[in-house]
């Protein structure tokens, strides 16, 4: 992101590209109000615009006064705005051509085009939000499910920042004691009580850090989702299962083996988790070059899968090829799913299930939607297997960047603890605590390097 003077004025279309009922143009900076006066003619003439009040009128061309659109306009006076600068918004008709023409006129009068995320970056630089809240804006824009949106809103409201701020205050308290001990080394009173500090470190710093790192694993699942791959031999009902999970006829179903020759990918929300379902070509030995390409892709998707649904045909029973295929996925997170249970007896179903020993087996009829609810519950449990309790209680979750920095912070705290218990000099202990504080500041934006800020805000769309 290029460096620009803090006094310039920026503008951008704030609504999504394409045709819509309403399109919004946002202007932020010292020239926002003068631009409003030059480009907007209120229906009722006036010389003064009241802050945070909508006005109806027309937007005109800067050069000749030609009417460009009917619109609503609002002026928001600093510092009571998103960026803490003067902001003007035009709420126009959602024609992309009209919005571009208005924007062109704004640029002619001296504003420049906003860069990705620059409005939010200005809000951050002005101290209106911290960096975790700025990133929460991006998470909210990209939320795929209700749960991911709730996590983003929680972080936007400062829940994550509060936890980090409590940890930071405890680190500062320890550092202050260390500084006093450094300044008064010959004092008869013991200033630095290692036993008390270690207890404080464990309870108020290390445990909360470990909890945040654990929730970040589950937060990644909520934000990005998981890939669930349906695998098995041809004609076992993989496409029927995809349709059953989607509750719609998405994949072509045919009795002939090899119908699916490429991967089909769709998404569902499973209790707030974005689940990317992948229907793959049946894996078998064949000579058709097109089907062979599909099988190669199926194997690649299996390697990428977070959860594999290994599908077996109850009517055909477990073949040697099934057993061979199962060996390739048994070390992955998987569920064994036996299809066509409506076509066999209970005894036959037990025999097929018994082939997999103590493994958890779910029986279904994809065609009749039998057992699909149980399968969905099984998928959910497989997804959260390593953090179920955390996942159920999670109200905020650090992202991947936070997680990396939190691990560094935790490592610095443990290095401090080890050095303290081994009797290291207090000046060396202070270095470790300061390091932990610096890492923590990277998350909230207190000490974040410019290149990290640029990487964060470059992910935003223009206009936000």
Q: What is the pLDDT of residues 287-310, one digit of tens each?
A: 455 445 556 677 787 888 899 999
What is the structure's pLDDT at 260?
A: 47
d(CA 115, CA 462): 6
Q: Does residue 438 have a pLDDT over 90?
A: yes
Mean of the per-residue pLDDT values for the chain?
87
Q: Does residue 69 have a pLDDT over 90?
A: yes
Average pLDDT over residues 115-142: 93
Domain with CATH 3.30.1360.120 in the chain: 10-130
Question: 10-130 is classed in which CATH architecture?
Answer: 2-Layer Sandwich (3.30)
Q: Does residue 251 have a pLDDT over 80?
A: no
What is the structure's pLDDT at 160?
A: 92
Domain with CATH 3.40.50.300 in the chain: 225-389
Helix (H) or strand (E) holding 390: helix 388-393
Domain with CATH 1.20.120.430 in the chain: 136-221+399-444
CB 86 within 8 A of CB 30: yes
Average pLDDT over residues 252-267: 60
Q: Does residue 70 have a pLDDT over 60?
A: yes
d(CA 294, CA 281): 6
CATH T-level topology, domain 225-389: Rossmann fold (3.40.50)
pLDDT above 70: percentage of residues in the chain: 88
Beta bridge partners of 276: 227, 267
Name the CATH code of domain 136-221+399-444 (choices 1.10.357.10, 3.40.50.2300, 1.20.120.430, 3.40.190.10): 1.20.120.430
CB 35 within 8 A of CB 73: no
What are 261's two structure tokens?
A: 């020759």
What is the structure's pLDDT at 282?
A: 57
d(CA 187, CA 181): 8
pLDDT above 90: percentage of residues in the chain: 54
């Amino acid at each position: 992101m290029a460096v620009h003077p803090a006094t310039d004025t920026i503008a951008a279309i704030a609504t999504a590209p394409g045709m819509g009922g309403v399109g919004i143009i946002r202007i932020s900076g010292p020239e926002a109000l003068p631009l409003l006066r030059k480009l907007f003619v209120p229906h009722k003439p006036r010389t003064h615009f009241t802050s945070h009040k909508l006005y109806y009128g027309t937007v005109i061309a800067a050069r000749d006064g030609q009417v460009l659109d009917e619109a609503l306009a609002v002026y928001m006076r600093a510092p009571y705005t998103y960026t803490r600068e003067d902001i003007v918004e035009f709420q126009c008709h959602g024609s992309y051509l009209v919005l571009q023409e208005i924007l062109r006129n704004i640029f002619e009068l001296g504003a420049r085009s906003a860069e990705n995320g620059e409005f939010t970056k200005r809000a951050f630089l002005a101290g209106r939000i911290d960096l975790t809240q700025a990133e929460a804006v991006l998470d909210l824009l990209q939320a795929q499910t209700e749960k991911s949106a709730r996590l983003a809103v929680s972080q936007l409201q400062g829940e994550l920042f509060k936890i980090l701020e409590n940890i930071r205050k405890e680190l500062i308290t320890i550092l202050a004691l260390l500084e006093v001990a450094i300044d008064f080394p010959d004092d008869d009173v013991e200033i630095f009580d290692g036993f008390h500090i270690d207890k404080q470190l464990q309870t108020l710093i290390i445990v909360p850090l470990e909890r945040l790192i654990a929730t970040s694993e589950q937060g990644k699942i909520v934000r990005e989702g998981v890939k669930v791959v349906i695998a098995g031999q041809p004609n076992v009902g993989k496409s029927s299962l995809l349709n059953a999970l989607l509750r719609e006829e998405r994949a072509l179903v045919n009795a002939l083996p090899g119908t699916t020759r490429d991967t089909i990918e769709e998404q569902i929300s499973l209790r707030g988790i974005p689940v990317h379902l992948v229907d793959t070509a049946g894996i078998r030995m064949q000579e058709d070059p097109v089907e062979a390409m599909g099988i190669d892709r199926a194997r690649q998707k299996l390697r990428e899968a977070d959860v594999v649904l290994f599908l077996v045909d109850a009517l055909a029973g477990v073949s040697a090829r099934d057993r061979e295929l199962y060996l390739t996925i048994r070390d992955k997170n998987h569920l064994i799913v036996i299809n066509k249970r409506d076509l066999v007896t209970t005894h036959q179903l037990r025999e097929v299930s018994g082939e997999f020993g103590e493994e958890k087996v779910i029986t279904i009829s994809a065609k009749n939607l039998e057992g699909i609810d149980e399968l969905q519950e099984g998928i959910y449990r497989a997804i959260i297997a390593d953090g179920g309790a955390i996942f159920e209680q999670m109200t905020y979750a650090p992202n991947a960047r936070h997680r990396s920095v939190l691990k560094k912070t935790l490592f610095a705290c443990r290095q401090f603890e080890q050095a303290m218990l081994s009797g290291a000099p207090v000046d060396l202990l202070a270095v470790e605590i300061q390091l932990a504080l610096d890492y923590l500041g990277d998350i909230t934006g207190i000490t974040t390097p410019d290149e990290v800020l640029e990487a964060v805000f470059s992910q935003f769309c223009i206009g936000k």
